Amino acid sequence: MASLSTTSLSFKAPSIQSTRISQVLRKASSFQSISFGRFHSSKSLRLQISCAAKPETVQKVSDIVKEQLALSADTALTAESKFSALGADSLDTVEIVMALEEKFNISVEESDAQNITTIQEAADLIEDLVQKKPATSEAS
Amino acid sequence: MGATKLSGMQKQVLSLYRGFLRAARSKTTEDRRRIEMIVSTEFHKNSKEVDRKNFQYIEYLLRLGTKQLDQLKNPDMVSISSIKVVTSKT
């Protein structure tokens, strides 16, 4: 934008024109901000779609997390609840993942297990693995 | 976001912990409960007590744990225990 205004000066454009240019520039910048906003919302929308684990799975995961961390039954857990915020350290997280493995009869890769920090992430990974499982058992 | 990167050593510890919990699954329910209790207590205790910069000691504990895990994987092995020798600083 700075280079554009310099060009208008070298052309010795009348003041009216320069204001017009600046107006255009302003319009352009405001348009940019609008498109930015749109981009953000579409991004979050896409994220929501890809993260849509079934509510039952999220509920099952929350129950196991509660059990593992010895939280009272009325503790409010949301899908975005972070394990660390619930007082879990990395060892507790390992325990949670192991309990989830048993419950859903799946096997979580170590590298994946270490990336799980929220109930939502756990639920997504589980759905992913449950879906993949029939294919792998057929192949073996 | 928010997830702190784990060091190689921390990963080793977590991997060992996972190994223990996996090995415990092959035991009877009662033994399993007990093994899980011991292992969990031991790991949590060390995570609080051991200085995270004391790499030599952590490496020693990792070696010790790996050895104990190998023994625990033996189907005849039913439980583990650890004795801590406390030396006073006087």
Task: Please state, for a pLDDT cut of 70, what percent of chain A lies above it.
Answer: 58
What is the rounded average pLDDT of the residues B24-48? 91
Q: How confident is the model at residue A71 (pLDDT cuts 50, 70, 90)?
A: confident
Asked whether residue B85 is domain-assigned, the answer is no
Chain A residues within an 8 Å CB radius of B15? 110
How distant is the Cα of B14 from the closest Cα of chain A, in angstroms? 7
pLDDT value for B82: 63
How distant is the Cα of A135 from the closest Cα of chain B, in angstroms? 24
Stronger pLDDT, B13 or A34, i.e. the higher one:
B13
The answer, yes or no, to whether residue A10 has pLDDT greater than 80, is: no
Asked whether residue B90 is domain-assigned, the answer is no
The answer, yes or no, to whether residue A27 has pLDDT greater than 70, is: no
pLDDT value for A87: 84
Asked whether residue B16 is domain-assigned, the answer is yes
φ/ψ region of B77 (left if φ > 0, alpha if ψ in -120 to 50, else beta) reads beta
- Alpha-carbon span A61 to A133, nearest angstrom: 18
Asked whether residue B78 is domain-assigned, the answer is no
Torsion of CA A106, A109, A114, A116, to 10 degrees: -40
Q: How confident is the model at residue A4 (pLDDT cuts 50, 70, 90)?
A: very low
Q: How confident is the model at residue B66 (pLDDT cuts 50, 70, 90)?
A: very high
Which residues of B lie closer than 8 Å to A, measured between beta carbons? 2-3, 6, 10-11, 14-15, 17-18, 21-22, 25, 40, 43-44, 47
A76-115 tens-digit pLDDT = 778 888 888 888 888 999 999 999 999 888 888 888 888 8
The answer, yes or no, to whether residue A25 has pLDDT greater than 90, is: no
What is the rounded average pLDDT of the residues B26-34? 90
What is the residue-averaged pLDDT of chain A? Answer: 69
CA-closest candidate to residue A126, choices A45, A63, A84? A63
Asked whether residue B68 is domain-assigned, the answer is yes
Number of domains in chain B: 1
DSSP string spanning chain A?
-HHHHHHHHHTT--HHHHHHHHHHHHHHHHHHHHHHHHHHHHHHHHHHHHT---HHHHHHHHHHHHHHTT--TT----TT-BTGGGT--HHHHHHHHHHHHHHHT----HHHHTT--BHHHHHHHHHHHHHHHHHHHHH-
- Whether A89 is catalytic is yes
The parent domain of residue B23 ranges over 8-73
**CB contact (8 A) between residue B17 and residue A113:** no
Identify which of B2, B3, B43 has the shortest CB distance to residue A91: B43
DSSP string spanning chain B?
--PPPPPHHHHHHHHHHHHHHHHHHTS-HHHHHHHHHHHHHHHHHHHHHS-TT-HHHHHHHHHHHHHHHHHHHSTT--------------
Domains with residue ranges and CATH for chain A? 2-50 (no CATH), 55-139 (1.10.1200.10)
Identify which of A89, A102, A110 has the shortest CB distance to residue B47: A89
Please tell me which residue of chain A has the smallest CA distance to B18. A94
Asked whether residue B13 is domain-assigned, the answer is yes
Asked whether residue B87 is domain-assigned, the answer is no
Across the A:B interface, residue pairs with CB atoms under 8 Å apart total 33
CB count, 10 Å around CB of A86?
18
Stronger pLDDT, A30 or A87, i.e. the higher one:
A87
Q: How confident is the model at residue B51 (pLDDT cuts 50, 70, 90)?
A: very high
- Alpha-carbon span B5 to A27, nearest angstrom: 43
Asked whether residue B81 is domain-assigned, the answer is no
Identify which of A91, A102, A115 has the shortest CB distance to residue B17: A91
